[in-house]
């Protein structure tokens, strides 16, 4: 290869400024769109994680009510720095170690609003008592139109995200698909144990 062909090959490899700017524009647009999608996915994950924390706190309140035979309150409120706080209050005295762990408030930043039965209040107090429990649907909303509903039935029962009717429909469908006769054929040992 002679010197002329090497110079010619090097000369052809150069890009114009316009081509470089177009490539940089395409790369920056791709990075921006990817960053926006990642931020939205991160916000969604934070929201659903915080909803799960509130659900766990509600389940803990119900379990404490049943175990301690005491009234338990779950208080959801806004703080001064625009976060949502979720805390437990128990009317029965606890030892200090348990009290610190149970009554420590959750500070939630991804949940923006909350309502029980369509009512929005500054401070929401959910009651867990053997005589009277809060009833209705607790709706939590966050950024990007994220929305989660937790159903409170008003009596000691599993607290979850599905309405009570849907759970009963699933049980009825399971019983319809797998009648007792088929269940006995599949699992004959369990039938003899029950009798």
* Structure-model confidence comparison of residues 62 and 98, the more confident one: 62
Give the pLDDT of residue 192.
45
* Structure-model confidence comparison of residues 175 and 158, the more confident one: 158
Tell me the two tokens of residue 187: 């699992």
Tell me the two tokens of residue 173: 């469908």
Q: What is the pTM of this model?
A: 0.71
pLDDT in tens, 166-179: 666 666 666 667 66
Q: What are phi and psi of 168, to 5 degrees?
A: -65, -40
List all residues 6 or more positions away from 136 whose beta carbon is below 8 Å from its beta carbon: 116, 117, 152, 154
pLDDT in tens, 90-106: 988 888 888 888 888 89
The CATH superfamily of 40-178 is minor pseudopilin epsh domain (3.55.40.10)
Give the pLDDT of residue 183.
58
* CA trace torsion 91, 93, 97, 102 (10° rounding): -10
Q: Which of 18-22, 24-28, 142-146, 155-159 has the highest average model confidence (pLDDT)?
A: 24-28
pLDDT in tens, 113-132: 999 988 888 889 999 988 78
């Amino acid at each position: 290869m002679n010197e002329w062909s090497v110079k010619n090959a090097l000369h052809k490899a150069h890009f114009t400024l316009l081509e470089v700017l177009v490539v940089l524009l395409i790369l920056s647009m791709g990075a921006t769109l990817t960053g926006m999608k990642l931020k939205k996915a991160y916000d969604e994950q934070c929201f659903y994680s915080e909803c799960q924390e509130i659900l766990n706190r509600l389940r803990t309140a119900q379990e404490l009510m049943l175990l301690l035979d005491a009234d338990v309150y779950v208080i959801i409120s806004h703080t001064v720095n625009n976060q949502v706080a979720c805390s437990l209050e128990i009317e029965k005295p606890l030892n200090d170690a348990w009290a610190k762990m149970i009554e420590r408030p959750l500070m939630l930043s991804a949940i923006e609003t909350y309502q029980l039965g369509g009512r929005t209040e500054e401070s929401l107090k959910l009651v867990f008592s053997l005589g009277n429990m809060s009833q209705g649907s607790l709706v939590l909303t966050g950024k990007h139109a994220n929305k989660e509903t937790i159903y409170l039935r008003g009596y000691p029962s599993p607290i979850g995200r599905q309405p009570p009717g849907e759970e009963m429909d699933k049980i009825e469908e399971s019983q319809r698909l797998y009648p007792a006769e088929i269940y006995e054929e599949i699992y004959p040992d369990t039938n003899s144990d029950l009798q």
